[in-house]
């Protein structure tokens, strides 16, 4: 394993009873599609595209719209942006290492927790050749999105596990913060943001292949693993 950055004091001892993944940037490489759709939306409404792109990652679409265009119907505009994103579904691919991580996670309880809509999430997983888990928490399932802990707490409840026993893989600061607020152990990957922006995670990895190595090394260790251990 290479270039692992231990942050947040290395994190507490963690019982790994369930593994949760963010979707975009963690399992599916959709960065160009997402940013293209939001830039189009911003341009259509005369909004600063760079400012919009600076906050979209890890947030629910309707909340982003409320920040920049509170006079518009957030639900309607979110569907519009989602439509823009689906126009380029053929460009989607699994993040390198994602398939291996899902394979490890699927030996036990696992979930996907995304700020996107359910239909969009399932379509992206299918396009990338990844399975849809029984537990998928999407934008329409929560009242408040990341960085609020609600999405991850809902997933833990659905899986029937304690939040402290969950390991989360995230790529965005808002997602990392949400999982930490939920009391979970967080592994971050620098697929979307630099390591400096992910400092609240327990461990920061350069990619999902490295995360897979961390998870696989602990698959036979029993329920207890320490994020800072070799």
Q: Which residues are catalytic?
A: 22, 24
* DSSP string covering 91-128: G-EEPTTHHHHHHHHTTSEEEEE-SS-HHHHHHHHHHT
Residue 189 near residue 169, CB atoms below 8 Å: yes
* 227, two tokens: 């994020």
Listed residue (178, 212, 218, 213) closest to 198, CA to CA: 178
Listed residue (83, 78, 108, 92) closest to 18, CA to CA: 108
The whole-angstrom separation of Cα 149 and Cα 166 is: 13
User: What are the CA-CA distances from residue 170 to residues 10, 41, 127 (Å)?
Assistant: 16, 25, 20
Q: Which residue is listed with tokens 């408040």? A: 144
Q: How far is CA 128 from the centre of its chain?
A: 15
The whole-angstrom separation of Cα 32 and Cα 91 is: 9
Mapped onto helix, strand or coil, the DSSP state of residue 152 is helix
Residue 139 near residue 114, CB atoms below 8 Å: yes
């Amino acid at each position: 394993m290479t270039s692992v950055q231990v942050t947040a004091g290395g994190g507490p001892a963690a019982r790994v009873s369930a593994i949760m993944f963010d979707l975009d940037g963690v399992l599916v490489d959709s960065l160009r599609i997402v940013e293209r759709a939001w830039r189009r939306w911003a341009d259509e409404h005369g909004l600063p595209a760079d400012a919009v792109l600076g906050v979209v990652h890890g947030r629910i679409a309707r909340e982003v719209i409320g920040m920049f265009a509170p006079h518009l119907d957030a639900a309607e505009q979110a569907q519009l942006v989602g439509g823009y994103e689906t126009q380029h579904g053929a460009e989607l691919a699994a993040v390198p290492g994602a398939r291996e991580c899902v394979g490890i996670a699927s030996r036990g309880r696992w979930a996907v927790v995304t700020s996107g809509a359910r239909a969009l999430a399932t379509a992206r997983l299918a396009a990338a050749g990844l399975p849809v888990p029984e537990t998928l928490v999407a934008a329409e399932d929560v009242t408040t999105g990341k960085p609020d802990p609600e999405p991850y707490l809902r997933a833990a409840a659905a899986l029937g596990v304690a939040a402290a026993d969950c390991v989360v893989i995230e790529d965005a600061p808002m997602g990392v913060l949400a999982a930490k607020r939920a009391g979970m152990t967080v592994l971050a990957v620098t697929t979307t943001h630099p390591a400096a922006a992910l400092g609240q995670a327990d461990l920061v990895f350069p990619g999902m292949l490295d995360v897979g190595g961390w998870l696989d090394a602990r698959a036979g260790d029993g329920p207890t693993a320490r994020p800072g251990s070799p």
